[in-house]
Structure 1
């Protein structure tokens, strides 16, 4: 079995967050969703669990952070630079905030970022597979 990742995120407005993630391409798995949580499927190995603040708080004794601090940067790969730009455009049209981190353009690798409605930062990046494997020199 492939390893899977389940990212748990606290959200202030579950319905708004579900709508945002659906607009950016995720699908809601009703089997693991209710009025306190929504399981959003990014791929067959990547899931985002959107949890209301009370539900999230039931898993930890630590306080839930706010937009004034960052605890993680979540990064997803894309199949091309154009796909990075399309994902950014989709996220912004769905209510996301563009570029909370600087644009990264190294020729062989390109990245942008956006914040979801709760301020969780998603980085989206493309890397030339040949350059990453060492098969070809990196583009300049």
Structure 2
């Protein structure tokens, strides 16, 4: 559970900076959530764990992958997370950076651990089922 970025109501827009070690790039991503996401976060579903209890979709999961690829899900209650396909995702890098220009100050000189090198060897990214 994330200890930060808590809000009293569902977000409409989230904008953030992130670094891709593999690309050696800084990215700036804006997520514009659809009314479907807001409605889902404001409604309840039966809990998987306690009969008669209800569950709110209160956590957003953001997946980041090389080449600036971003996907968004609502964390589900013991079931597969719900991809938010209607979320508008805008990702920029390089000269298109606005808010994130000079923020991260990454020089990408720290390289990779051996296990990461083994993991990405001969694979095309983004890795996994994207």
Q: Could you state the TM-score of these two structures normalised by the residue count of structure 2?
A: 0.25
The structure having more radius of gyration, on CA atoms, is: 2
Larger relative contact order, structure 1 or 2 (CA cutoff 8 Å, min sep 6): 2
